Amino acid sequence: MKSLVKYVVCIVFLILASASADTTEDPNVAAAQVEVSGITIDPAVLMPLDTALVTITLNNTGQDAVPINHAMVYDKDLLILSDNYGKVGSIGAGNSLKLEFTIQARGATGIFYPTLSLDFRGAHFLRYPFRVQVQNDPLEMSVLSKPETFVEGKKDVVQLHIGNPRDNTVTGVTITANGTGHEITPASYFVGALGSDTTADIPVNITPYGNQSVLFTLSYQNGINQHNVTYTLPIHLGESRKQANPVLSNVVLNDEGDIFRVTGDVTNSGLETANGVEVTSGEPAIPIFPYKLYAVGALKPDDFSSFEITFKTDTNTTEVPLQTSFKDRDGNIFSTDTLLEIPRKDTVAEKEQASPIPDKAVYVIPGAVLLFVIFAIWYSRRRRE
């Protein structure tokens, strides 16, 4: 019985060994089951002199492990910065393997095809070209809107417009502003990722103090590569064409002995609302009650309001500035002066003292004429006699 069992075991072993020998594949056949299942390039599109990380995924779709001696990437138009894989090892049946290479673009642009080379142990090799694109298209920055004229000390909004003309998304997009002496908010603006053929608008508030230009710097990352784009915004100070402009009219000066009283109208001839309009007198005048300062309030374009102020000054004053102030929508204060002529009191007194002389002449001259007429009549009658 034992000999029969041994005999059966031997036969089974021989059958299994024979079946195993029949199913063992040729090394070339096994290597043919290794394929490139995916390639990722970061960044997807390079710029000249950019560095990119290439990740290549290999899959073994066969039933046997496949040993690989070495792996490499080569190309005459690109720089291969990473070392070759001298000993890769084996890819088990149904398993995958990732290989990473670092490449760098040269100065040329276009589409290039570097090649992946795999040398299998005891079998043939695999050559697999893949696509690498290099574009010289940086992000673009421009000014979408700005005031026609900057006014010193007045806040205005500048609308920046940025766009991505590239075929891939860029990240870490940031705009910074540098303008010596100016008040700029925000000084830095983080946009984040900007997709292909997309744009973003960024409002920047600028309060200028001087004619120094403002330099905007657009920074972004293409993969791990840092890039910058700059834009210079000239600042030319002047007077705004739209700014509120309170103008005084119908001004009447009344001398009331100890004080002067001024009445009139204030009209907003600008194109923006004048807020908190106030009228008062400036030096050498001294504002006094009851109307030291007249608060008009808000005046819309082409709107007007009456005002009344009182002040006193010495007898030698010939001009007094009427000060008109207002605030814009951001609370900035603007002020203008309108000169008002003051008549001298001593001149008026001299005219009043000189006025009696002509009054006496009114009586003296007709009396002399009457005497002359009487004398002429008397003389004429005497000659007749």
Residues 82, 45: one domain? yes
- Type of residue numbered 292: K
1 vs 206, which has greater pLDDT?
Answer: 206
Q: Which among 305, 241, 316, 312 is positioned nearest to 278, based on CA atoms?
A: 305
Q: Both 83 and 109 in a single domain? A: yes
Q: Which domain holds residue 52?
A: 28-134
Domain ends where: 207, 233, 259?
233
Please report whether residue 259 resides in a domain.
Answer: yes
Tell me how far apart the alpha carbons of residues 198 and 98 are, in angstroms, rounded to a whole number: 33
Q: Indicate whether 187 and 123 sit together in one domain.
A: no
pTM: 0.69
Break the chain down into helix, strand, coil percent, rounded to 5: 15, 50, 35
Quick: pLDDT tens for 125-136: 899 999 999 999
User: Diameter of the chain by CA atoms?
Assistant: 211
How far is it, in rounded angstroms, from Cα 154 to Cα 25?
83
Residue 349 placed within a domain: no
pLDDT one-digit tens code per residue, 265-312 = 999 998 889 999 999 999 999 999 899 999 999 999 999 999 999 999
Give the full edge-to-edge strand order of the sheet including 293-299.
293-299, 274-281, 319-327, 333-341
pLDDT, average across residues 108-121? 94
The rounded distance, in Å, linking the Cα atoms of 164 and 45 is 13
Q: How far apart are the first and last CA of the chain?
A: 211
Residue 319: CB atoms within 10 A of its CB come to 11
Domain membership of residue 370 (yes or no) is no
Rounded Cα gap, residues 46 and 221, in angstroms: 11
CATH number of the CATH domain containing 168: 2.60.40.10
- Could you say which of 73, 106, 134 is where a domain stops? 134
Q: Which of 111, 134, 157 is the last residue of a domain?
A: 134
Residue whose C-alpha is closest to residue 66's, from 43, 93, 85 = 93
Say if residue 226 is in the same domain as residue 314: no
pLDDT digits (tens, 9 = 90+) for 193-208: 999 999 999 999 999 9
